Amino acid sequence: MTISAFSNGTQSAAVGTEHFLANVNVSGEFTLHVDLSAMLTGDIVELRAYQMVTPSGTARVAFYESFPGLQPTDAQVVFSDSLRNELTDSQALRFSLKQVTAGAPTGTLRDFPWKVLKADAGAADVSSIAAAVWDELIAAHLIAGSAGQFLASRMPTGTVTVGDKTGFSLVSPQNFDLVGNITGTLTTVLNVTNPVGINTGTFINAMADQVWDEPLAQHLVAGSTGDKLYQVTGSSGGGADPWLTALPGSYTPGQAGHILASRMPTGTVLVGDKTGFSLSNPQIFDFIGNITGTISNVLTVANPVGLYTGTLISAIADGVWDETITQHLVVNSAGEKLYSRMPTGTVLVGDKTGFSLANPQAFDLVGNITGTITNVLNVVNPVGLNTGTLIFAIADQVWDESLASHLVAGTTGEKLYTVTGSSAAGSDPWLTALPGSYAAGQAGHILASRMPTGTVIVGSNQDKTGYGLSSPQAFNLVGNITGTVTGNIVGNLSGSVGSILDLAAAAANKIADHVLRRSYANARASADGDAVSFRSLLGAVAKLVNKWSISGTTLTIKHEDDTTTAGTQALTATPGADPITEIDTS
């Protein structure tokens, strides 16, 4: 662990002012240390740390502590909690000091020395591990079969130039990192590990994509895998869904359906609930938290939690491979051996393990290829085939393979053959005669007995057994509607309305009552009908019930608010005419 001073100084505290001592914008673990020996009786000093949680976020208080009065002799230097930061914002992590009150003498500023320390634990540990690896004397690790003995015995004994291959030979299948095209014939290739794919992706991904994206209808040779799969799924691609099967159903102990239903937990399995489980052999666990104690006989650690950031294995690997090799030239160390004996230029064809190819070469390879094949754009004449690329050859071989030749119990071929049947005729559920032998309550019987047998026309098919509307529905109706319509009809009626105008007396009275009792304000505000006009029934009602006034020869009628003008009429007066004194409806 490396400890360093991020920043320091002496703060003269003004009472009531929060002084920000340091702003942190780099990665590390930080603590604030303050000397409070200057405090007197009546003083109160507060220390705070503010931290952002996300980039460009708001720095909020992550640490706070208040110190009152004269500090004891044995505790005059105080420090904050340790806070980790990885953000680069200018105020990602901040430390402050505030003197809230001051005792006598009140007019004197208190000076507080302070510092912010930074700890780099992860980087230092990785660096030291890497340094120890490369500075280790290789002569101390010559146990037969060990990595040290392997490196010491097989590396060249001097500087290797492009043409110098002294001490190299291929006594067994080797790893190759190949750049460019591979031409010629790949004989007896059993395995390809992590090859680079055609154009993008890995070689294996490219092969997988070619297999799964191949049109199934192009591989219908009788008895082939493609033909079997096509028969199972049908031309529309609709196969059976095994997840809809009710379990355990009729499955008996020992069968997969019974085992799945009877042995799976029925709820969330807690840490302490191990009913029916045991470790018959070493298992793989995902651990969260710290592991304390001794881990014995651990051969592989997959994705361990790292020292500071990243995973432990990644951190160590990065530290080893990113280490400057010229810093590890101790005589006979691994670093010195690697630096002095590796080739200084491009190694041409004829060279051995660990060398690159300056241009495309032809290889006749026997055995496994376990390295990485980089930038392979094409494979010519793969696996002894005369035409086509390797990927297309593999795809064709997969789909055209006779399924009857792959019936080993438990294999994919045997399972697919069992599903499709020996005649290659898959089970098509739509060809099943219904109701057949299906009993009441079963899907086959329900489908056959409840579905209409012909076109359902409203008014002619009176068989509605088993049908009902659980809630109001929307219908587009064509033809005549007879009978009684209850509820609301929403939408447009087109064509001849016919006898729908013959309303029952109660319905007609209800409409009339709504018309007569509707308020003037609601009628004027409605979006239905024509635009509001004084020359309308609404205007006539306004003249009857709303406020009106006469000015000169103009009669002005208001809307219901007695303010807005609904319309005006010109008045003509006849001097000496008889006045109207009464109106009586006969």
Strand, coil or helix: what is 190? strand
415 falls within a domain: no
> What's residue 450's pLDDT?
76
Whether the full predicted model's pTM is greater than 0.75, yes or no, is no
Residue 564 lies in a domain: yes
Whether residue 296 is contained in a domain is answered as no
27 vs 310: CA distance, rounded Å? 14
Is residue 191 domain-resident?
no
123, 139, 155 - which closes a domain: 123
Mean pLDDT for back-to-back runs of 10 residues, the chain (586 residues): 92 95 96 96 96 97 96 95 96 97 81 95 62 82 84 69 57 62 57 51 68 84 84 58 77 87 68 59 63 54 49 69 87 83 59 59 60 57 51 78 85 78 56 84 82 59 61 66 63 56 80 90 92 92 92 93 94 86 81
CA–CA gap between residue 331 and residue 274 (Å, rounded)? 56
384 assigned to some structural domain: no
- The answer to the question of residue 162 being in a domain is no
Domain closes at, from 104, 123, 142: 123
Give 71's contacts (C-beta < 8 A, 6+ positions apart).
36, 37, 39
The reported pLDDT for the residue numbered 313 is 61
* Amino acid present at 455: T
Is-contact 389 212, C-beta < 8 A? no
Supply the CATH number for residue 109's domain: 2.60.120.510
Using the structure block, give the residue that is written with the tokens 């003269």: 12
The domain boundary, picked from 123, 147, 170, lies at 123
Looking at the structure of the chain, the number of domains it has is 2
Report strand pairing: 2-13 vs 110-120: antiparallel
Cα–Cα dist 38/71, whole Å? 9
Does 105 reside within a domain? yes
Residue 95 belongs to what domain range? 2-123
Report the pLDDT value the prediction gives residue 414, as an integer from 0 to 100: 78
Residue 186 belongs to some domain of the structure: no
